[in-house]
């Protein structure tokens, strides 16, 4: 038998063997193994094609080469078809195994919660709204003029040292150290009508962060301007507020103090609920926690706001909602509020 006849015979035998073998395969992995055996570089078909290269006689070589190539192409096509078939079969099996049960209830998405500072601010504003105070929004980035000068603190006034300030790169523009500039904004917007305004928001101080002090915290400012407003009105408002916020019975202490924009001025303390007045790190062992500053609006400030101090009088206060939240929920460290720990935030 000639060389060509041998090759053609071998090709025919290989064709039958490969097709029978492929027909028996039932998964993707089997198809890959079949490819390795017959069509890969070291497989049986490339070996057959190699033997064609050894034929010397041109016509014979052509004939054997044609048969070899046809076999190669045909088996490649068979391989691809089988591979597709197996992939589709595996996908169908996977889909039926993982079928979706549309009757199952959906998974609950975890719900966010209102931040405790926001919840307290809303609660406080609600109480003060009922006492007749309207909400007024004021900016967090302030001018030196509003944060200090119009509140009776000209440049170089020593009282500015009470508020360590964050300055911006723009001269005269600062992060407000308290919500009191809101007093001037509200008065200028509404003078000469009598007003009862509250303004809440963030304040910033370049001070050491401790269990009771943050460098960013909130304040709620209140101001009432009208005829015959006295210190008794201030006291009555704050006592009514504390009764409603904490429940009747909590002790309040008015301590004489100094603010350049109020005269007289007080700081108001509440008995520390964390230690029941015995003394702890939050109340600095005093048994009292300072929660707000207040006083009668200084005549110069009334004038700066557009009111005639011989006709109008007023009171103002500025309270720290984080401190009030600490007292109400017995939180022993203010740093929990803004450290973003969900275990703390989820409790409210
Ligand atoms: C003021 O900021 C005055 N503007 C308050 C005021 C308003 C007085 C109107 C008179 C009239 P003071 O620095 O004491 O005052 O702050 C007021 C309240 O803000 C404090 O009682 C406290 O509750 C809260 N507070 C102050 N500093 C911090 C801080 N670093 N961290 C958390 N709360 C603070």
According to DSSP, the residues that pair with 226 across neighbouring strands are 313
Ligand 1 atom 9 nearest Cα: 317
Is any atom of ligand 1 closer than 6 Å to the C-beta of 187? no
Separation of 73 CA from ligand 1 center, angstroms? 86
Separation of 193 CA from ligand 1 center, angstroms? 27
| Cα(31)–Cα(304) distance, integer angstroms | 89
Q: Is 143 within 8 Å of 136 (Cβ atoms)?
A: no
Ligand 1 atom 29 nearest Cα: 213
Q: Which value, to the nearest 10 degrees, does the dihedral of the CA atoms of residues 29, 34, 39, 43 take?
A: 120
Is any atom of ligand 1 closer than 6 Å to the C-beta of 323? yes
Q: What is the pLDDT of residue 189?
A: 98
> Of all atoms in ligand 1, which is nearest to the CA of residue 268?
21
According to DSSP, the residues that pair with 271 across neighbouring strands are 288
Distance of CA 8 to the CA centre of its chain: 74
Ligand 1 atom 28 nearest Cα: 213
Single out the residue of 95, 98, 88, 82 nearest to residue 39, CA to CA. Answer: 82
Low pLDDT (below 50) residues in the chain: 1
Other beta carbons within 10 Å of 126: 11
> Of all atoms in ligand 1, which is nearest to the CA of residue 179?
4
Q: What is the pLDDT of residue 53?
A: 84
Separation of 318 CA from ligand 1 center, angstroms? 6
Peptide bond into 81 cis (omega under 30): no
Is any atom of ligand 1 closer than 6 Å to the C-beta of 294? yes
Peptide bond into 132 cis (omega under 30): no
> Of all atoms in ligand 1, which is nearest to the CA of residue 297?
11
315 backbone dihedrals φ, ψ, rounded to 5°:
-125, 160
Q: What is the pLDDT of residue 131?
A: 97
Separation of 93 CA from ligand 1 center, angstroms? 68
With a CB cutoff of 8 Å and minimum separation 6, the contacts of 268 are 238, 252, 253, 254, 255, 290, 291, 292, 293, 294, 317
Pocket test for ligand 1, best of 209, 266, 292, 301 (most atoms within 8 A of CB): 292
Q: Is 246 within 8 Å of 272 (Cβ atoms)?
A: no
Pocket test for ligand 1, best of 128, 165, 219 (most atoms within 8 A of CB): 219
340: left (phi over 0), alpha (psi -120 to 50) or beta: left
Ligand 1 atom 22 nearest Cα: 320
Is any atom of ligand 1 closer than 6 Å to the C-beta of 314? no
Ligand 1 atom 32 nearest Cα: 213
pLDDT tens-place string over residues 148-174: 999 999 998 988 888 899 999 999 999
């Amino acid at each position: 038998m000639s060389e060509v006849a041998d090759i053609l015979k071998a090709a025919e035998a290989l064709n039958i063997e490969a097709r029978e073998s492929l027909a028996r395969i039932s998964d993707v992995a089997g198809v890959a193994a079949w490819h390795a055996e017959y069509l890969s570089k070291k497989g049986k078909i490339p070996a057959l094609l190699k033997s064609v290269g050894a034929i010397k006689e041109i016509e014979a070589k052509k004939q054997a080469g044609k048969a070899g190539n046809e076999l190669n192409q045909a088996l490649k096509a068979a391989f691809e078809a089988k591979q597709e078939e197996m992939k589709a079969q595996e996908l169908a099996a996977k889909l039926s195994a993982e079928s979706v049960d549309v009757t199952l209830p959906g998974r609950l998405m975890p719900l966010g919660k209102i931040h405790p500072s926001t919840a307290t601010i809303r609660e406080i504003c609600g109480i003060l709204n009922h006492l007749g105070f309207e909400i007024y929004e004021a900016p967090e980035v302030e001018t030196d003029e509003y944060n200090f000068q119009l509140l009776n603190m000209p440049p170089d006034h020593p009282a500015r040292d009470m508020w360590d300030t964050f300055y911006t790169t723009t001269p005269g523009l600062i992060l407000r150290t308290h919500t009191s500039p809101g007093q001037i904004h509200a008065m200028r917007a509404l003078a000469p009508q009598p007003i009862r305004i509250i303004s809440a928001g963030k304040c910033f101080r370049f001070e050491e962060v401790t269990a009771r002090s943050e460098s960013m915290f909130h304040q709620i400012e209140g101001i009432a301007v009208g005829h015959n407003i006295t210190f008794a009105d201030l006291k009555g408002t704050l006592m009514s507020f504390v009764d409603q916020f904490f429940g009747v019975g909590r002790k309040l202490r008015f301590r004489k103090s100094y603010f350049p924009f109020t005269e007289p001025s007080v700081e108001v303390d509440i008995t520390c609920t964390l230690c029941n007045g015995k003394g702890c790190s939050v109340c600095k062992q005093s048994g009292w926690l300072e929660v707000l500053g207040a006083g009668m609006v200084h005549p110069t400030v009334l004038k700066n706001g557009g009111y005639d101090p011989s006709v109008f009088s007023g009171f103002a206060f500025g309270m720290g909602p984080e401190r009030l939240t600490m007292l109400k929920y017995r939180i022993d460290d203010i740093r929990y509020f803004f450290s973003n720990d969900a275990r703390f935030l989820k409790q409210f």
